[in-house]
Chain A
Amino acid sequence: MTREIHRKTPEELLREVQAEEAAAGKGHLKIFLGYASGVGKSFRMLDEARRRRERGQDVVVGVVQPQVSPEVEALLRKLEVIPLKAVGLGTAVDVDRLIRRHPAICIIDGLAYDNPPGARNPTRWQDVQDLVDARIKVIGSINIQYIAELREQVEAITGKRVAQTVPLSFIKAADEIEIVDASAEEPLERSPEQQVDAQKREQQLSKLRELALLLAADVVDQQLSDYLERHGIRQDFGTQERILVCMTPRANIQEMIDTARIIADRFHGELIVAYVNQPEISPDDQATLQEKLAIARTAGARIEILDGEDPVDTLLEFARSRGITQLFIGHSQRAGIWPRIRGNPVDRLIRLSRGMDVRVFPH
């Protein structure tokens, strides 16, 4: 899930900025992200609504969860609530009425609901989209298990599959996302499912919690790189570890990849393997290279084949453009097939790679 969020090309960013400009004057979406029910999303959201109302903002509640705690109940008494609309046998958010009422801010607690047939939209998140398009600021909440793309990962943790989901793109497109974190023991006390073995449940909750934190970190990372690009700041902040393994046919690739994989996993980082095309490469070297690239692919690394006159310059240019924080090279590169006219490649990489750690591997 996390690895597919990549740094964007300038073209992609340009398109995004244009899209942003087009969207200017539209509403605004803020999402509270939680990892389980009971972590306090509803309270946090409605507490924000209360504070905004006290500051004189026009806030209404479009929908709250069917069961609420006494604290949330107390907050709701201070707020204007627009009742749900009956549709067939069920209910849905009364989008038409909300648009007519046109508050500055609308609270939608729980984004992952399918609407009954006959409603304005098939799902609630599409209702939210309509409200945002009508220039209403929406504050919503969701648990990660209801994000479509995370369903399998969540199922692997909990053994349960949820039916109603929201696409990840909808979450990522939110203007603001805020995580509601709490210890893994807390929701347990509030949950009615006391039958489940408590320790196992706590373990599951911890894993869901980690998943939620990492998802938020990835969204924030994207926001950060967008911000830096927009403001013309080229330097990377190194908030996420990104490892670049420099591949040659002679490299001790197994050890490099094993170490890189472990470090990338432990730091929740990204792993890229790059090879700079060489003009005169023997058939033997070519065959070894393919084997080694296959090892890298199996380990889940992204492979990049680069072209450039000088391998050191090419690699460093690539590393800087991707915000690499750790560069892995082999001692073998010393006696390798790279041109040595400008000095030993290993020493040059060490000296020129400002802002990145360099890890030199044994033969």
Chain B
Amino acid sequence: MAEQQRGKLKIFMGYAAGVGKTYQMLEEAHELRSRGVDIVIGYLEPHGRKDTIAKAEGLEIVPRKKIDYRGSQFEEMDTDAILARHPRVCVVDELPHTNVPGSDRVKRWADVEVLRDAGIDVLTTMNIQHLESLNDQVRHITGIRVRETIPDWVVRQASEVVMVDLTPRALLHRLERGVVYGPEKAQQALQNFFRESSLVALRELTLREAASEVEHRIGSEGTRAAAEEPIPRQQRKHHKILVLVTADPKTAMVIRRARRVSDFLGAECFAVAIQPSGDLSDVPEAEREAIEKHLNFARNLHIETRILEGADAASLLIDFARRNEVTQIFVTRPTGRVWLPLLSKDPVQRIINRAKDMQIVIVSDREPVAR
């Protein structure tokens, strides 16, 4: 079988609903069509917005698939039908969407991967708050824990990430005029994501993310390095990051942060959990489950995971780090009491005390901003 070129992914990234991502994507779809490109709409979510609906006119739409779930009927993108139709380019709105149970794949981004595997280019949309590694920061800004997330590697694979911008003021006007949501949902939205301060912060986050995505695609010689004094090559040390995985719920936050830093530094990243050797009956089941959940989470973010066995967690981790030439260990904040740190049994505290030959990063909680 001939090797097929994988389809390209282009993401229209926004900072909130209503900035005009879908509209801009459809504009591009029309432009491609006018140039004779075979393009279809695989999924569109116009949210009843009149301008967006008008923009979709004249584009071929692949009908959605109907799925029954608990007595109701839901509609999802019909990935098989798109594969059968096999256009050059497919428009797929709302990349972070979670499919209804009973669908072939849990996430829409996984459907998009399937389309790209078949050599179909995909145009898609998403908002910054769905990027996994920013989940804690977004919660810090908006007070909301976003559940539908996209692993960063999906976005990094995109050939282009384009920022769809609109000033918060203009967006708030749109919201007030009822362009974005119906009246009830608009009121609800104004309470959280659509607070002006949240919007400004999310917008800044998106601009910086878009800039990093551009820089990532240019390569490491970014604008700043070109325009200002470059860092001498010999100072560029190769970094390896190790994350300590425990049952502590804050571990997810540490994993996200480590993923983000290692992506930006171009460093390798491992996650390691430590369990007592042999008899596991000492470990409460809830704890084992939490650790397994965190390891799975790390794997979903393309972080290699290991489980080490032994009694002394701190020593095991430090030995592993030294053997593997780790340069940075990421941990949660120690929980022990402040006045006895040197006698602490908390493994995190012991790692800080003993791993003096490498950098230790204690990741902070990012609690929502008090209002």
With A217-B204, A240-B208 as contacts: A359 and B167 at CB distance below 8 Å: no
A125 CB to nearest B CB, Å = 20
- How many angstroms between the C-alpha atoms of A221 and B261 in the bound complex? 21
A321 contacts the other chain (Cβ, under 8 Å)?
no
Q: In chain A, residues 315-363, which have Cβ atoms closer than 8 Å to a Cβ of chain B?
A: 331, 343-344, 346-348, 350-351, 353-363
The stretch from B148-156, B225-233, B272-280, B287-295 touching chain A is: B225-233
B358 CB to nearest A CB, Å = 6
B91 CB to nearest A CB, Å = 16
Contact with A along B293-310 (1 / 0, CB 8 A): 000000000000000000
Residues of A within 8 A of B215 (CB): 210
The stretch from B60-68, B104-112, B182-190, B361-369 touching chain A is: B361-369
Contact indicator B210/A362 (Cβ below 8 Å)? no
- How many angstroms between the C-alpha atoms of A214 and B208 in the bound complex? 6
Q: In chain A, residues 263-299, which have Cβ atoms closer than 8 Å to a Cβ of chain B?
A: 263, 265-268
Contact indicator B218/A239 (Cβ below 8 Å)? no
With A262-B236, A263-B265 as contacts: A214 and B207 at CB distance below 8 Å: yes
Residues of A within 8 A of B357 (CB): 362-363
B160 CB to nearest A CB, Å = 4
A124 contacts the other chain (Cβ, under 8 Å)?
no
Contact indicator A350/B208 (Cβ below 8 Å)? no
Residues of B within 8 A of A300 (CB): 228-229
B257 contacts the other chain (Cβ, under 8 Å)?
yes
B179 CB to nearest A CB, Å = 10
Contact indicator A206/B366 (Cβ below 8 Å)? no
Residues of A within 8 A of B225 (CB): 265
B306 CB to nearest A CB, Å = 23
Contact indicator A220/B204 (Cβ below 8 Å)? yes
Residues of A within 8 A of B217 (CB): 206
Q: In chain A, residues 201-216, which have Cβ atoms closer than 8 Å to a Cβ of chain B?
A: 203, 206-207, 209-211, 213-214, 216
Q: How large is the interface on A (under 10, 10 to 19, 20 to 34, 35 or more residues)?
A: 35 or more
Q: In chain B, residues 181-216, which have Cβ atoms closer than 8 Å to a Cβ of chain A?
A: 196-197, 200-201, 203-205, 207-208, 210-212, 214-215
Contact indicator B208/A153 (Cβ below 8 Å)? no
B85 contacts the other chain (Cβ, under 8 Å)?
no
With A210-B222, A210-B223 as contacts: A224 and B201 at CB distance below 8 Å: yes
A183 contacts the other chain (Cβ, under 8 Å)?
yes
Contact with A along B150-183 (1 / 0, CB 8 A): 0000000000101111110110000000000000
The stretch from A103-111, A112-120, A128-136, A227-235 touching chain B is: A227-235
Contact indicator B358/A362 (Cβ below 8 Å)? yes
With A157-B223, A157-B226, A237-B140 as contacts: A217 and B364 at CB distance below 8 Å: no
- How many angstroms between the C-alpha atoms of A221 and B328 in the bound complex? 30
- How many angstroms between the C-alpha atoms of A350 and B362 in the bound complex? 7
- How many angstroms between the C-alpha atoms of A285 and B227 in the bound complex? 36
Contact indicator B359/A358 (Cβ below 8 Å)? no
Contact indicator B264/A266 (Cβ below 8 Å)? yes
In this complex, the member of A180, A183, A239, A363 whose beta carbon has the largest number of chain B beta carbons within 10 angstroms is A239
B323 contacts the other chain (Cβ, under 8 Å)?
no
Contact indicator B204/A224 (Cβ below 8 Å)? yes
Contact of B218 among A180, A207, A268, A357 (CB under 8 A): A207
Which residue on B lies nearest to A231, using beta carbons? B197
- How many angstroms between the C-alpha atoms of A6 and B14 in the bound complex? 26
Residues of B within 8 A of A351 (CB): 333-334, 338
Which residue on B lies nearest to A43, using beta carbons? B27
Residues of A within 8 A of B140 (CB): 237-238
Contact indicator A265/B224 (Cβ below 8 Å)? yes
Q: What are the 7 closest A-B residue pairs judged by CB atoms, nearest first?
A: A217-B207, A213-B211, A266-B264, A181-B163, A237-B201, A176-B167, A239-B204
- Interface residues in chain B, defined as those with a beta carbon under 8 Å from any beta carbon in chain A: 10, 137, 140-141, 160, 162-167, 169-170, 196-197, 200-201, 203-205, 207-208, 210-212, 214-215, 217-218, 222-229, 231, 235-237, 257, 261, 264-265, 328, 333-334, 338-339, 341-342, 352, 356-367, 369-371
Given contacts A207-B222, A239-B208, A343-B338, 15 further A-B contacts (CB under 8 A): A176-B170, A179-B207, A183-B10, A217-B207, A224-B200, A228-B197, A237-B137, A239-B205, A259-B359, A262-B235, A265-B231, A354-B364, A354-B367, A355-B364, A358-B362
